[in-house]
């Protein structure tokens, strides 16, 4: 597999920091870094532009990190997030609770803007109970929240 060089626009975990030119697998660059806007093809013009903007990008990165830390503080203030769902006698849900449902509940109840992509859930929840859910709010900031699924009615 061939490697390509890309210029990072943001800090990418296990890859590099803002403004670095790194060598990554061609597929990783093509399928993730470039489409997500995390990297650019390192032309002379782009290198100069990123170097000039590196301080600004680092400040933006730090601002985003501070916002994420504020969200973590707000999330830590609540003991648990309760979601009511229709369930059968054995505790099995009619349908599943997904990352979208959890994100909507957090957004509506707490007024915190969280996307479903920030919620790390291995698979949808299909039963009543308590679940510890991890949120990745920033490349350097994550949080845990307890989600309780209770029977509706």
Distance CA 74, CA 147 (A): 15
Q: What is the pLDDT of residues 79-134, one digit of tens each?
A: 788 999 999 888 899 999 999 999 999 888 888 888 999 999 989 999 999 999 99
- What are the structural domains of the chain? 3-60 (3.40.5.10), 78-151 (3.10.430.100)
Q: What is the pLDDT of residue 1?
A: 66
Q: What is the pLDDT of residues 45-84, one digit of tens each?
A: 887 887 777 778 778 888 989 999 998 898 888 878 899 9
The secondary structure element, H or E, covering residue 95 is: strand 92-97
The chain-wide mean pLDDT, for the chain, equals 88
Residue showing tokens 């707490």: 110
The answer to whether the predicted template modeling score (pTM) of the entire model surpasses 0.75 is: no
Q: What is the pLDDT of residues 95-104, one digit of tens each?
A: 999 999 999 9
87 near 94, Cβ under 8 Å? yes
Q: Looking at the predicted structure, is the pLDDT value of residue 145 above 70? A: yes
């Amino acid at each position: 597999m061939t490697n390509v060089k890309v210029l990072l626009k943001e800090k990418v975990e296990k890859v590099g920091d803002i403004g670095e030119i790194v060598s990554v697998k061609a597929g990783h660059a093509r399928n993730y870094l470039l489409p997500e806007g995390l990297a650019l093809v390192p032309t002379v013009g782009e290198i100069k532009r990123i170097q000039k903007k590196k301080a600004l990008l680092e400040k933006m990165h730090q601002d985003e990190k501070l916002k994420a830390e504020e969200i973590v503080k707000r999330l830590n203030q609540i003991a648990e997030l309760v979601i009511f769902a229709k369930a059968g006698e054995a505790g099995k849900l009619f349908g599943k609770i997904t990352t979208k449902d959890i994100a909507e509940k957090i957004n509506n109840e707490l007024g915190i803007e969280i996307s479903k992509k920030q919620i790390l859930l291995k698979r949808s929840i299909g039963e009543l109970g308590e679940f510890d859910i991890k949120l990745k709010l920033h490349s350097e900031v994550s949080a845990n929240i307890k989600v309780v699924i209770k029977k509706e009615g």
